[in-house]
């Protein structure tokens, strides 16, 4: 059972350039994708949209909009909109083909009309338009066919009703972009509830749908000033739920892309609300398992913030260090990439605040047994700007990384890594020969001290454990008189036993 799409019904009206929904991304790496290899029996698609409408009326084609006199245009328009509000069952691809065709033709005409004819969008048609759009797009998304859906590996479930749905989205977009569109009229219908339902659709598994939603939400944000704060708030709710409750939401990348352009437009100085969004939402987003799906968009948002307000750098970097991946090397490479993007725009005054913890982490990455992580970290030294920052602060940075680099240069299994480390050590030597010599000399001593410390620690815990046991015994002895507080005896008896 493959996706049941009804026979070729590509819309005749072309999408406006730049808005055409991207096809599902094809990988061109030459490897067959897991989902293709894995012959998984597909369940039949379902879509909650189509609960049976038993009293389905028959649709009959109406006259074309361009054929009627202007006086009848709006009446016909609203009849067409009503026709487009009739829903069809796309799971059964042969059901009611005639009705589907009538609706498709009507939708095509509406798309055409709202995009090219001036004077169509008068106040009375707004509620009809929004009703038609709502009926078509708002639905509870069906349960995912594959509970472990991995957006990177698996084929998404495509929306069966796309032949109609696409035209509705196209119509909605052109409606919003029409020169006649009046936000002041539309805001009565495009309200908070409408936006909330729109945001919920971003969870759609169908990338084509999310692409339309992205453009549409962007236009809504641009045109409805009164909804902006609400949209931002709801986005952050979606993200927080995604981070802390579900770990599943398909549209994170798209929402972040919109936010990227929103952040770009923030006025200075940044409001506390926005800063809080960065620190409490965007940074924790890094901890999500499926980071790779939206990392590019997320990193863009973070860098946008830092370009707006450099004083946020310390927060951001400390945040990233807190969420630094412990077991996922793939994510670690992404973190390193983002860190370099941040360092590219960092101000030297900010750099000094975080250089030590940051470079300790970089050193840990260099010592990673996964060579891609080590390599990515060592590439930092190829970056001229970072190198100049290191040089200016070599008295802090070098001691933070030297021990690890020195040790890894002798131990790493991968020759490329070893030679990269030698290069780094060489730059250190050239940077500050004296400091380098001192560090080399103290390296051995430190190693010994570490061992000493470990021994002391062991002794400490041993002593504590013994003391605990003595106390416990003492407690048991003194159990009969539990309220004795000023008790040299207790301590003494503890000491004796």
Partner 1 sequence: MAGAAGPGIGPGAAGGDGDDSLYPIAVLIDELRNEDVQLRLNSIKKLSTIALALGVERTRTELLPFLTDTIYDEDEVLLALAEQLGNFTGLVGGPDFAHCLLPPLESLATVEETVVRDKAVESLRQISQEHTPVALEAHFVPLVKRLASGDWFTSRTSACGLFSVCYPRASNALKAEIRQCFRSLCTDDTPMVRRAAASKLGEFAKVLELDSVKSEIVPLFTNLASDEQDSVRLLAVEACVSIAQLLSQDDLEALVMPTLRQAAEDKSWRVRYMVADKFSELQKAVGPKITLSDLIPAFQNLLKDCEAEVRAAAAHKVKELCENLPIEGRETIIMNQILPYIKELVSDTNQHVKSALASVIMGLSTILGKENTIEHLLPLFLAQLKDECPEVRLNIISNLDCVNEVIGIRQLSQSLLPAIVELAEDAKWRVRLAIIEYMPLLAGQLGVEFFDEKLNSLCMAWLVDHVYAIREAATSNLMKLVQKFGTEWAQNTIVPKVLVMANDPNYLHRMTTLFCINALSEACGQEITTKQMLPIVLKMAGDQVANVRFNVAKSLQKIGPILDTEALQEEVKPVLQKLGQDEDMDVKYFAQEAISGIAARARKLDFPVKDSDEPSVPGADKNHFWRPRGPREDTGKGPAYQLHVNTRDTLARLEMAELVLFFPKQRLIPLD
Contact status, residue 85 vs residue 129, Cβ threshold 8 Å? no
d(CA 364, CA 361): 5
Site for partner 1 in 181-240 (CB under 8 A): 193, 196, 237, 240
Q: Can you list the alpha helix ranges (DSSP code H) found in 117-149? A: 125-137
Choices 12-20, 27-35, 345-353, 453-461; region in contact with partner 1 by CB under 8 A? 453-461
Contact status, residue 470 vs residue 497, Cβ threshold 8 Å? yes
Q: How many Å is the Cα radius of gyration of the chain?
A: 32
d(CA 194, CA 217): 11
Q: Does 369 bind partner 1 (CB under 8 A)?
A: no
Q: Which of 11, 127, 151, 284 binds partner 1 (CB under 8 A)?
A: 284
Residue 39 Cβ, how far from partner 1 at the closest point, in Å? 12
Choices 219-227, 327-335, 420-428, 482-490; region in contact with partner 1 by CB under 8 A? 482-490
Residue 487 Cβ, how far from partner 1 at the closest point, in Å? 5
Joined tokens for residue 296: 């590019």
Q: Which is nearer to partner 1, 27 or 326 (CB)?
A: 326
Q: Does 478 bind partner 1 (CB under 8 A)?
A: yes
Q: Which of 12, 14, 460, 497 binds partner 1 (CB under 8 A)?
A: 460
Residue 140 Cβ, how far from partner 1 at the closest point, in Å? 4
Q: Which of 182, 419, 475, 497 binds partner 1 (CB under 8 A)?
A: 475
Contact status, residue 363 vs residue 381, Cβ threshold 8 Å? no
Q: Does 28 bind partner 1 (CB under 8 A)?
A: no
Q: Does 94 bind partner 1 (CB under 8 A)?
A: no
In the chain, what is the straight-line distance between the N-terminal and C-terminal CA atoms, in Å?
77
Q: Which is nearer to partner 1, 58 or 245 (CB)?
A: 245
Site for partner 1 in 375-414 (CB under 8 A): none
Joined tokens for residue 46: 């379902």
Choices 104-112, 213-221, 291-299, 457-465; region in contact with partner 1 by CB under 8 A? 457-465
Choices 177-185, 369-377, 404-412, 458-466; region in contact with partner 1 by CB under 8 A? 458-466
Residue 132 Cβ, how far from partner 1 at the closest point, in Å? 18
Q: Which of 38, 395, 434, 485 binds partner 1 (CB under 8 A)?
A: 485
Q: Which is nearer to partner 1, 287 or 311 (CB)?
A: 287
| Alpha-carbon torsion (230, 233, 239, 244), positive or negative | negative
d(CA 291, CA 331): 7
Q: Does 249 bind partner 1 (CB under 8 A)?
A: no
**What distance lies between CA 10 and its chain's CA centroid?**
31
Q: Which is nearer to partner 1, 225 or 492 (CB)?
A: 492
Site for partner 1 in 322-351 (CB under 8 A): 322
Choices 45-53, 56-64, 219-227, 400-408; region in contact with partner 1 by CB under 8 A? 45-53
Q: Does 148 bind partner 1 (CB under 8 A)?
A: no
Q: Does 487 bind partner 1 (CB under 8 A)?
A: yes
Q: Does 97 bind partner 1 (CB under 8 A)?
A: no
Contact status, residue 59 vs residue 86, Cβ threshold 8 Å? yes
Q: Does 51 bind partner 1 (CB under 8 A)?
A: yes
Provide CB contacts within 8 A for 322, sequence distance 6+. none
d(CA 436, CA 226): 60
Residue 178 Cβ, how far from partner 1 at the closest point, in Å? 29
Provide CB contacts within 8 A for 176, sequence distance 6+. 216, 219, 220, 223
How many other CB atoms are there within 10 angstroms of residue 373's CB atom? 23
* Nearest residue to 278 (alpha-carbon basis) of 286, 289, 290: 286
Long-range contacts of 96-100 (CB under 8 A, 24+ apart): 96/56, 97/6, 98/59, 99/56, 99/58, 99/59, 100/6, 100/9, 100/163, 100/164
Name the residue with tokens 């698609």. Answer: 45
d(CA 230, CA 192): 7
Residues in the site for partner 1, rule: CB under 8 A? Answer: 43-44, 46, 48, 50-52, 140, 142-143, 193, 196, 237, 240-241, 244-245, 280, 284, 322, 457, 460-461, 463-465, 467-468, 471-472, 474-476, 478-479, 482-485, 487-488, 490-491, 494
């Amino acid at each position: 059972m493959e996706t049941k799409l009804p026979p070729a019904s590509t819309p005749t009206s072309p999408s406006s350039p730049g808005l055409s929904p991207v096809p599902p991304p094809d990988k061109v790496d030459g490897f067959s994708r897991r989902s293709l290899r894995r012959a998984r029996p597909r369940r039949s698609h379902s879509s909650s949209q189509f609960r049976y409408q038993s009293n389905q009326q028959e649709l009959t084609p109406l006259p074309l909009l361009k054929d009627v006199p202007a006086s009848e245009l709006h009446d016909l328009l609203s009849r067409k909109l009503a026709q487009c509000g009739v829903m069809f069952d796309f799971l059964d691809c042969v059901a009611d083909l005639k009705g589907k065709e009538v609706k498709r033709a009507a939708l095509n005409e509406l798309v055409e009309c709202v995009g090219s004819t001036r004077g169509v969008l008068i106040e009375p048609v707004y509620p009809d338009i929004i009703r038609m759009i709502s009926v078509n797009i708002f639905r509870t998304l069906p349960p995912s066919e594959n509970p472990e859906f991995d957006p990177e590996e698996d084929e998404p479930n495509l929306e069966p009703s796309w032949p109609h749905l696409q035209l509705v989205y196209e119509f909605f977009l052109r409606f919003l972009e029409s020169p006649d569109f009046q936000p002041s009229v539309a805001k009565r219908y495009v309200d908070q509830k409408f936006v909330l339902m729109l945001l919920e659709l971003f969870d759609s598994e169908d990338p084509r749908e999310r692409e339309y939603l992205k453009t549409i939400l962007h236009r809504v944000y641009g045109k409805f000033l009164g909804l902006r704060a609400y949209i931002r708030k709801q986005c952050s709710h979606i993200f927080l739920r995604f981070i802390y409750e579900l770990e599943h939401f398909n549209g994170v990348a798209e929402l972040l892309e919109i936010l990227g352009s929103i952040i770009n437009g923030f006025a200075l100085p940044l409001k506390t609300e926005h800063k809080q969004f960065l620190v409490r939402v965007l940074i924790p987003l890094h901890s999500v398992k499926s980071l790779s799906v939206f990392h590019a968009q997320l990193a863009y948002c973070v860098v946008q913030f830092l370009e707006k307000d450099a004083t946020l750098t310390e927060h951001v970097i400390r945040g990233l260090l807190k969420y630094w991946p412990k077991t996922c090397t793939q994510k670690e490479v992404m973190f390193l990439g983002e860190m370099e993007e941040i360092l590219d725009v960092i101000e030297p005054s900010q750099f000094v605040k975080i250089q030590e913890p940051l470079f300790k982490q970089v050193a840990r990455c260099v010592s990673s047994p996964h060579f891609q992580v080590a390599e990515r970290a060592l590439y930092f030294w190829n970056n001229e700007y970072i190198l100049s920052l290191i040089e200016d602060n070599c008295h802090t940075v070098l001691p933070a990384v030297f021990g690890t680099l020195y040790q890894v240069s002798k131990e790493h299994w991968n020759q490329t890594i070893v030679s990269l480390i030698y290069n780094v050590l060489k730059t250190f030597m050239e940077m500050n020969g004296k400091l380098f010599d001192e560090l080399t000399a103290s390296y051995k001593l430190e190693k010994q001290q570490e061992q000493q410390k470990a021994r002391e620690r062991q002794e400490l815990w041993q002593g504590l454990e013994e003391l605990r046991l003595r106390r416990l015994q003492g407690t048991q002895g003194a159990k009969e008189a539990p309220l004795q507080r000023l008790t040299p005896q207790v301590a003494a008896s503890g000491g004796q036993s």
